[in-house]
Copies of this chain bind each other. A is one copy, B any other.
Amino acid sequence: MNAEALIILIYVLVLASFLGFELISKVPPTLHTPLMSGSNAISGITIVGALIATSEMGFTTLSKWLGMFALILATINVVGGYAVTDRMLKMFKKK
């Protein structure tokens, strides 16, 4: 990776981190768990990485298996994460 590309990625990283900080300022305690769970689902974005890994690197056994393993785990994280968050939040609505 060339330095310029890296630096611009760092821009993205820095700005996104700031944004992450600013977005969460005051959260009522009832939302702590859903928020954790919801953002956990977002961190399942590794699934994109896993997809790329299984595909591009799909030729060696080890890389492939690792990729597939990662893909399964990431999918669990994503699907389970969103589903469970939604379940929790649905509960709140009922009131």
Contacts and interface: CB of A to CB of B under 8 A. Distances in A.
Interface of A: 8-9, 11-12, 15-16, 18-19, 22-23
Chain copies in the assembled complex: 2
Nearest to A22: B22
Contact of A11 (B12, B22, B23): B12
Given A11-B12, A12-B15, A19-B19, 11 more contacts: A8-B8, A8-B9, A8-B12, A12-B12, A15-B15, A15-B16, A15-B19, A18-B19, A19-B22, A22-B22, A22-B23
Give the top 10 A-B pairs by smallest Cβ distance, nearest first.
Answer: A15-B15, A22-B22, A19-B19, A8-B8, A11-B12, A18-B19, A15-B16, A15-B19, A22-B23, A19-B22
